[in-house]
Structure 1
């Protein structure tokens, strides 16, 4: 089974957190980690943090969170640009 790496976007809601988006970023752990580490936000999540990004490693039906980042709406916007640019590079230019 192939391992893939996703960046999951979650939002704080009344009953916990809700997944509002998911990016397939790579099938290479090093590349996915470099992308995730370039994202804007804070690694120390505050209780008041509304938006959260998680780096998820998936193999088959199981997944493991290997990184979490809290961000605000402006940072999320910039992060979506970074993620999309890097995913384009990985799937079109670096194979």
Structure 2
């Protein structure tokens, strides 16, 4: 079975971490990694991290987290633009 790659956007709330968006990057590992490498954020997470983006591989129905970024609000906005642009290019070009 093929792997599926995706990026989840998460926010820390009073009740814990909630995922509020997911971007499907497809089955091509190299393209998915290339997209994630364009994103801004820090891999240094702390208890103060509020907005995060997870890069995950789904294999045989089991999620395998690859890396997580701690992002500012401005970085989430920038990253969303990048992800949308790259997904558009991959699907249409």
The TM-score range, normalised by the shorter chain, is over 0.9
TM-score normalised by length of structure 1: 0.90
**1:39-80 superposed Cα distances (whole Å, 9 cap, x missing partner):** 011110121111000001112421101111010111100000
Q: CA deviation at 1:26?
A: 2.5
TM-score normalised by length of structure 2: 0.92
* Contact 1:53/1:69 (<8 A) preserved: yes
* Contact 1:40/1:71 (<8 A) preserved: yes
Give the Cα–Cα distance (whole angstroms) in 2 for the partners of residues 37 and 54 of structure 1: 12
Unaligned ranges ≥5, structure 1: none
What's the Cα RMSD here? 1.1
Q: How many residues align?
A: 93
Q: CA deviation at 1:8?
A: 0.4
